[in-house]
Amino acid sequence: MNAVIRPLRSSRPQGPLVGAVRVPGDKSISHRALMFGALAVGETRIYGLLEGEDVLCTAAAMRALGAEISQGADGVWRVAGRGVGGLIEPGNVLDMGNSGTAARLLAGIIATHDIFAVMTGDGSLRTRPMKRVTDPLAQSGARFWSREGGRLPLAIKGARDPLPIEYELPVASAQVKSAILLAGLNAPGETLVREPAATRDHSENMLRHFGAVVDVERVGLGRVIRLQGQPELRAADVRVPADPSSAAFPMVAALLVPGSRIVLEHVGLNELRTGLFTCLREMGALIEVVSPRLEGGEEVGDLVVTAGVLRAVDVPAERAPSMIDEYPVLAVAAACAEGVSRFRGLHELRVKESDRLSATAALLAANGVKVEIEGDDLIVHGVAGGPPGGGLVATHMDHRLAMSALVLGLGSQRPVAVDDGSFIETSFPGFVALMNGLGAAIS
């Protein structure tokens, strides 16, 4: 995949960004809908599934494990599941594309099925650590073989008689938590996860939606999650909200281009995913929620975003789990704000699609923004009116870095270029067309 390199460039548009759009479906929820549907009894219908490359890889992997998955002429995806414990051994290697979420969650599912499977991914995914997942999953009785450092390709022999896991996360991670909970589905008794800070809870919400018993107890800043093993999951329709991580890019763009006013429709508003919105409001951004509602256990609403003057912000470390994917585009907003912003406690950014902490700093520095890294903190010196721009950004096969750089170009004095935008399709198919439809200048 992504064999064709696609350089892109953005520049200040002639006028404001205006219009109403719906960004693609939530990637986290889309992965889980396919996986949980495959583990349920009956047919699950999925509306608004993100049809990016990562999610299509998940669909292919679940087919290889025995689920029947198809898309109808109406655009609705249908998953005929095999039930908990009913997956079959795949006949070939499972290609997870660029998605760490899919690879780590699927490792949890396979760990407690008595099958053998091998996972790989693209060049970016094969550099990312998996031991943070395989170490706790080994408690179930599963065995793992990988490259040095726990990197893909990863071979898994699931446990014949799986054991429930009790695990305390050393670092807050929704992916690790979810992998352990999914392993617990096919293990007897109670699986228990302690997290030091609350992370996105799409797995817990969707497990309940499909009929599992999941209890959550708040303990300080963290939570204790308990799952009752070996439930019979029942097919349940899923309506995927627009991805708040994808909505972040047109949102910040609208805040940076004078006179802009856009509406982002049907955006997921899960409180554990909206740290960026909180930060932007603290910076003075005008973001209004219209028609809030609840669908499939998830809060959604329409967002009205109006351009204005942004001020620097100091983001506490405990907010990181609720916006871990949005720091690059928040850094872009900070680069165009008045004053010096500081984002604290960003260690987790070092193990994303790229070392996003260093890569984000390099993105800004290449475009004339003064930026520093102190430990795990990122410090951005804003340039009111927009930074110089004019740089070429190395994206490191990271879709969010590519989109963040292109948003920066909309607010900079000179155009900003990226070496490769092809990976944007993994999470935001049609990004350039959607942005240009609002009035952006990306080519």
Residues 132, 145: Cα–Cα separation, whole Å: 14
Name the residue among 286, 382, 372, 385 with its Cα closest to residue 338: 382
Residues 5, 393: Cα–Cα separation, whole Å: 14
Find where tokens 């554990």 sit: 272
Name the residue among 137, 130, 136, 274 with its Cα closest to residue 198: 274
Residues 174, 39: Cα–Cα separation, whole Å: 20
148 contact partners, CB below 8 Å, separation of at least 6? none
Residues 379, 69: Cα–Cα separation, whole Å: 46
3-state DSSP assignment of residue 414: strand
CA atoms within a 13 Å half-sphere pointing along the CA-CB vector of 327: 34
What's the gap between Cα 170 and its chain centre?
Answer: 20
Q: Which residues are catalytic?
A: 325
CA atoms within a 13 Å half-sphere pointing along the CA-CB vector of 355: 7
**13 φ/ψ angles, rounded to the nearest 5 degrees:** -75, 160
44 contact partners, CB below 8 Å, separation of at least 6? 33, 36, 37, 78, 79, 81, 235, 236, 237, 238
